[in-house]
Amino acid sequence: MSFYLFGNPDESLRLKNVSSSTRNGKGVIKIEIETDSLDHLSWAVRDLEEVRRGQRAKPEPPKPHPQPKSKPLALPAPQLALPKPEEM
C-alpha cells in the first residue's frame, strides 16, 4: 500500500513538521509525519524502506546489443580478375 498526503483535515497520516538544511553542498529535507493508526504507520515505514532499498541497489549494466550477421548475397561474388585465355 502506498501513502499520499493531500492536506485533508481527516487524513490518518498528518504532516507534523518540515525542515531543510544544506551540508557539504547537498540539501537535506526532514519530514515528520504523525499518525494515530499503527497500521498506517507500518505501511508508511514499509513504503519508505522500499524506496531506500531501491535507491541503494546498483543499476544493472546495459546489455550489449548483438551485431546482426551479414546476410548471404543472392548472387555469387564477382570474380576478382579476368580469366586467363587458356582457361576459356
Sequence-distant contacts of 34-39: CB under 8 A, at least 24 apart:
36/12, 37/12
Q: What pLDDT is recorded for position 61?
A: 87
pLDDT at 79 over 70: yes
Looking at residues 50-64, what average pLDDT do you find?
88
State the virtual CA torsion across 14, 31, 51, 3 in degrees, nearest 10.
10
Mean pLDDT score of the chain: 85
The fraction of the chain above a pLDDT of 70, given in percent, is 93
User: Which residue ranges make up each domain of the chain?
Assistant: 12-57
The residue written with cell numbers 515528520 in the block is 32
Percent of the chain with pLDDT over 90: 48
**At 1, is the pLDDT very low, low, confident or very high (cuts 50, 70, 90)?**
low
